[in-house]
Homo-oligomer: A and B are copies of this chain.
Amino acid sequence: MAKLLTDFSRLCIHTITTKPWSLEECLSNYRKAGVPAVTVWRQWLEPQGLEASARMLQDSGLRVTSLCRGGFFPAVSEDGRNHALDDNRRAIAEAHAIGAPLIVLVCGAVPGMPLSEARKQIAEGIAAVLPEARAAGVKLSIEALHPMFSDARSAVNSLTDANDMAAELDDDHVGVTVDVYHVWWDSRLEAEIRRAGRRILSFHVCDWRTPTRDLLNDRGLMGEGCIDIRGIRSWVEKAGFTGDIEVEIFSDAWWATDQHAFVEKIKAAYLAHC
């Protein structure tokens, strides 16, 4: 079992977790709460632009864990695929500008496109932008998404799929993200985490509520659900991962509450359940 967490040195919060807050509010409030790291969702860069965002992040003193999200490579037309490549190149430039060492890839899927074809287009897409990523010193992390998102969000539906793709691309700038919400159900999870080993670039936590009222925006705070988060952390750490523990919660219910109080609840849940 993993060693208990006794401080917040590895705690990272995703800006989308506190969706009502602007980037400025996230940074200021996380820092006041003693949260040392942030993962920035790209929408949070838009209002003030990239340059101002980068300055804001640097001034905050917070560590930038990653940029969310690149990906969405598959498309029916070549135009669509080229558009996706351009967007991923922009994401790489953004990550570089804000000092994010990696981009999390939500790989994409197109309803009705065979998943095997989507997976092929994803691997080709990653390969196509890899030179830019390498030049920028930005890693690309393939996130396996829960199979309930296989229709329109990702054809990479298990850590097996992500590992297969990372192994195929076999590049030190490509790895995988383990998000407990997406992979906790998998009977092969421990073995696939072992197989991923040093390719694990990031680790996301939240919880699975029973009942889950919405496919997208009803994730639970750690401890509110049935995921053995600490058990999965012990596996990723045994595999060599020592990085941040990133709290990524999409929740209409939590977004409707006071976000300062929510951050305090996140901190308590982090110590109690991660």
Q: Is A208 an interface residue (CB 8 A)?
A: yes
- When distances are taken between beta carbons in the complex, the residues of chain B under 8 Å from A10 are none
Q: Measured between alpha carbons, how far is A147 from B116 in the docked complex, in Å?
A: 20
Known: A119-B187, A185-B147. A210 touches B111 (CB 8 A): yes
- Residues B151 and A187 in contact, CB atoms below 8 Å apart: no
Give the copy number. Answer: 2
Type the 1/0 row for A186-214, where 1 means its CB is closer than 8 Å to any CB of B.
Answer: 11100000000000000000001011100
Nearest B residue to A164 by beta-carbon distance? Answer: B187
A212 → chain B, closest Cβ, in Å? 6
Q: Measured between alpha carbons, how far is A225 from B151 in the docked complex, in Å?
A: 9
A154 → chain B, closest Cβ, in Å? 10
Specify the main secondary structure of chain A where it touches its partner.
Answer: loop
Q: Is A148 an interface residue (CB 8 A)?
A: yes
Interface residues of chain A, those whose CB is within 8 Å of chain B, are 111-112, 114-116, 119, 146-148, 150-152, 157-158, 160-161, 164, 184-188, 208, 210-212, 215, 225-226, 228, 231
Nearest B residue to A218 by beta-carbon distance? Answer: B215
- Residues B187 and A158 in contact, CB atoms below 8 Å apart: yes
- Residues B147 and A148 in contact, CB atoms below 8 Å apart: yes
- When distances are taken between beta carbons in the complex, the residues of chain B under 8 Å from A185 are 115, 147, 150, 157
